[in-house]
Amino acid sequence: MADRLRGLIPLIAAALVGAAVLLPLAAVIWRAGGLSPLDGRSWDAVWFTLWQAALSAVLSVGLAVPVARALARRRFRGRSALVALLGAPFILPVIVAILGLLAVFGQKGWLSDVMGLFGLPAVKIYGLHGVLLAHVFFNLPLATRLLLQGWQDIPAERFRVAATLNLRPWTMFRLIEWPMLRRIAPGAAMVIFVICLSSFAVALTLGGGPKATTVELAIYQAFRFDFDIGKAAQLAVVQLVLAGGAALAAMKLTLPEAGFGGLDRVVPRWDGSRIVDGFWIALVALFLLLPLAAIGLRGAGAIATLPASVWYAALYSVAVSLGAVAVTLVLALPLALSRRKWIELVGLMGIASSPLVLGTGLYLMINPFIAPWDVALPVTAAVNAVMALPFALRILRPAAAQIEAEHGRLADSLDLHGWARLRWLMLPRLRRPLGFAAGLTGALAMGDLGVITMFADPDTATLPLQMYRLMGAYRMEQAAGAALLLLILSFGLFWIFDRGGRINADT
């Protein structure tokens, strides 16, 4: 009996996740009445969404090739720090990065200042190229990590053979590196394409206008400015078709896996120009570090004088973040421990659905019963939990499988089952991955500027939303202070959880 009940727990978790994703989708489709003809502006949004996602993917992967190649074959001081920095954008709040990018590349930014010295006009960042800049900022590091993994997986012997044959650089590229790139680059581009399809916060801040509106942003605008929930639902169906179609297309490709870590190995090689490699490495380091430095410099002065509203928002954000961590872990743990194959699909549902689509659906479900803004924070926590679940499962499932492989027999022979197995075997050995998953979830939820924009009333805001409002009111100093606070909270939360998993943990 107890065994049967325990077997039900993962099913219940799967059903909860399924309901959290599918019910809002059903509500959206029901309200939209299926697919109906789009007006011109909506078509513009569809084309812009596809176009910017494609360009972002191509640019990110294209630029990642020389960067990953340089990192793969050069050993230098600070290399591991740079590789770690490549992981940082993943947990960097989008709105913080945007403020940093504005400080460097904006109309009044450092780059414009430098160009002004030569009598050149200031940079115009808003529009397609601003969106691309931000997307490359977030996805170039991801693409670099994926490709770097590919380079490291090339056996060192091949480069040794190439060196003894004194192959010309082009021949070497064609024979050794090109086959790897052909295998990995399309998948990497596809991943980035899918990510950028659901771009909201970037388009909200750097895009906008009829020429640079993504479908996600159009949902928000229909919802917030036109008060047209029917149109929002219609656009949500469009977004669902786009993201679902791309996800299905992505399944046909073998997607590259970026492990979290383990990119330390440098394959010894005897080719390539130090100067060219150094150029790419310096370029990517500056590209990532300058916006962060700008936040630090501008925010440090303002953080002490932040208004109370920002501190309240920070408090709400911490609550949302911890709530999302709790929900994600409670759902992810039974799903990760279950040996059923199809559980992985449950996690993928979070990827295929976008925050604004879920938000629209949840609004439709909640609105008849209670005022949506009364539940803005719980809804934000829940949506973030669903969004983080795939990452948590990707971290926890392989770890749990490995523990079973190594110690499952001993636990079986000692009759350790259910709670006892969890307590004596799984929890202690899953501490590191649990801490890491909790840290990622916490940081992602902390920095999320998505569904909260639909649900918040003027009096409540999470920190990213409050920061966005400050930017909208051109209070850039305070916005920078809030950005620094948000940065510290996001990275700090990640660090605390990750550290908590490592401390005293035996390997």
Partner 1 sequence: MLTLEGLDIVQDDFRLTADWSVPTGARVAIIGPSGGGKSTLLSAISGFAEAQGKVLWNGAPLGDLAPGKRPIAMLFQDQNLFPHLTAAQNVGLALSQGRLTKAQGQRVGLALSRVGLDGLENRKPSQLSGGQQSRVALARVLLQDRPLWLLDEPFAALGPGLRSEMLALVQQIAAEVGATILMVTHDPEDARRFADLVVVVDQGVALAPRDTEDLFANPDQALRDYLGH
- Pick 12 or 427: Cβ nearer partner 1: 427
Which residue spans within 389-458 are E strands per DSSP?
A: none
Q: Are 86 and 144 in contact (CB under 8 A)?
A: yes
**Which of 428, 457, 473, 502 touches partner 1 by CB under 8 A?**
428
- Pick 404 or 477: Cβ nearer partner 1: 404
Q: Are 391 and 335 in contact (CB under 8 A)?
A: no
How far is the C-alpha of 345 from the C-alpha of 406, rounded, in Å?
Answer: 25
- Pick 183 or 407: Cβ nearer partner 1: 407
**Which of 410, 457, 473, 502 touches partner 1 by CB under 8 A?**
410
Find the shortest distance in angstroms from Cβ 392 to partner 1. 21
Phi, then psi, of 208 in degrees rounded to 5: 90, 175
| Size, binding site for partner 1 by CB under 8 A | 19
Q: Which residue type is seen at 310? A: V
Q: Does 416 help bind partner 1 (rule: CB under 8 A)?
A: yes
Q: Considering only residues 477 through 506, tell me which ones interact with partner 1, judged by CB under 8 A.
A: 505-506
How far does Cα 254 stand from its chain's mean position? 20
- Pick 145 or 421: Cβ nearer partner 1: 421
SS3 155: coil
Cα angle: 434, vertex 435, 439; to 5 degrees? 115
Find the shortest distance in angstroms from Cβ 2 to partner 1. 13
Q: Does 413 help bind partner 1 (rule: CB under 8 A)?
A: yes
Q: Does 297 help bind partner 1 (rule: CB under 8 A)?
A: no
How far is the C-alpha of 452 from the C-alpha of 450, rounded, in Å?
Answer: 5
- Pick 188 or 425: Cβ nearer partner 1: 425
**Which of 12, 161, 420, 503 touches partner 1 by CB under 8 A?**
420
**Which of 417, 457, 473, 502 touches partner 1 by CB under 8 A?**
417
Q: Considering only residues 168 through 227, tell me which ones interact with partner 1, judged by CB under 8 A.
A: none
Q: Are 474 and 490 in contact (CB under 8 A)?
A: no
Find the shortest distance in angstroms from Cβ 432 to partner 1. 11
- Pick 39 or 506: Cβ nearer partner 1: 506
Q: Does 424 help bind partner 1 (rule: CB under 8 A)?
A: yes
**Which of 168, 265, 409, 502 touches partner 1 by CB under 8 A?**
409
**Which of 414, 472, 499, 502 touches partner 1 by CB under 8 A?**
414
- Pick 155 or 428: Cβ nearer partner 1: 428
Q: Does 425 help bind partner 1 (rule: CB under 8 A)?
A: yes
- Pick 74 or 407: Cβ nearer partner 1: 407
The radius of gyration computed from the CA coordinates of the chain, to the nearest angstrom, equals 24
Find the shortest distance in angstroms from Cβ 410 to partner 1. 6
**Which of 79, 158, 160, 407 touches partner 1 by CB under 8 A?**
407
Buried b (16+ CB within 10 A) or exposed e, 201-232: bbbbbbbbeeebbbbbbbbbbbbeeeeebebb
Q: Are 166 and 83 in contact (CB under 8 A)?
A: no
SS (H, E, C) 256-314: CCCCCCCCCCCCCCCCCCHHHHHHHHHHHHHHHHHHHHHHHHHHHHHHHHCCHHHHHHH
- Pick 120 or 420: Cβ nearer partner 1: 420
Q: Which one-letter DSSP state was computed for residue 120?
A: P
Dihedral (CA of 237, 353, 205, 309) sign: positive
Site residues for partner 1 per CB under 8 A = 406-407, 409-410, 412-417, 420, 423-425, 428-429, 505-507
